[in-house]
Homo-oligomer: A and B are copies of this chain.
Amino acid sequence: MLPKDWLVRLQQKDRKSIAKLITLLEGTSLERNEILRHIYPLVGKAHRIGITGPPGAGKSTLISAWTTYLRSLGLTVGIIAVDPSSPFTGGALLGDRVRMNRHATDHGVWMRSLSNRGVMGGLSLATHEVAHLLDVAGYDVLFLETVGVGQAELEIVHNADTVMLVLPPGAGDGVQIAKAGVMEIADILVVNKADQPFADRLVAELQDVLRISRKKDWTPPIIRTVASQNRGMEELWNAAQTHRGYLQEPKRASKKAENRLIQEVSLYLHQQIRLLVEEELAKPIRRQQMKQIIQTKSSPQDLIDKWWAEGFLSYKPNTDPHSQKGGKT
């Protein structure tokens, strides 16, 4: 049930309401649609900053230090830590670590980890939606943190206004990373742990890569930070704001909005379709047909073609795709 005054409470940054709304967004489509319908007109004030980079780059420490700095300026901060990847990075705990420390009792900081709910699209979608909620709640800066730089992680940070790639010196593969497609989506390059040896070398290498690869009208600045000592946070914030200013040029802003919407629409669609397909494949008739093709050793593609020909996957928007999942078939 959607409480009567939910939107007002959300806009007051009421933590219980935010938690409740996140739960509802995972629930039935009736409430989902209701929430989204009210939220969309209000979205767009927060500065969304995506943070990615290899494990060990110090992303969580950086976010924590940066949050301290932003709080000192009177700005409020939302942190969404996303872990779509390996069970061993322990990435889902990153967020908890930040939450546990100095920001735990600060009501100007909201923090949550999203771990994989088993589906890639689902996680990206959840990140979008939680970011929208926090945006409407009035948090000034939203950090979207991912634990690695895989495909799924890139998809998540790509939806931010400003994407930061955080690299540690001496890892030796900084340039390799920078070359491997991650660079293309990075708006700002951060060399963290800049007091360590090889920091200068990494900066020089990154400059080389930038010189060769960049042909766009935005050249990512390279910012040095020592997050563990709160150093470089002002420079980081200045760079982020400069980038946001760049984005606000009308043509660029509308292109960005369009791309984000296309991504979002595509995620919504795939989410619904995944549920529909799951439900469809669980039906006894489908199971039976699949058993048959095992016996006859025929091609599953032929079976699928038959399904499509029979009008497979006709979605009825009046019904509820989420409650369908249980499969009353």
Contacts and interface: CB of A to CB of B under 8 A. Distances in A.
A3 interface: no
Given A87-B182, A173-B88, A261-B294, A308 B302 contact: no
Contact of A84 (B37, B116, B151): B151
Interface in A36-66: 36-37, 39-41, 43, 54
Interface stretch (A100-108, A205-213, A310-318): A310-318
A290 B277 contact: no
Oligomer: number of copies? 2
B149 A301 contact: no
B87 A181 contact: yes
B299 A37 contact: yes
A266 interface: yes
A32 interface: yes
The 10 residue pairs across chains A and B that have the minimum distance between CB atoms: A87-B180, A305-B317, A41-B297, A36-B299, A308-B317, A308-B315, A37-B299, A85-B150, A86-B150, A40-B299
Given A86-B148, A88-B176, A308-B317, 16 more contacts: A29-B301, A33-B301, A33-B305, A36-B301, A37-B298, A40-B298, A85-B151, A86-B150, A88-B180, A120-B120, A258-B290, A265-B290, A266-B277, A268-B304, A270-B273, A272-B304
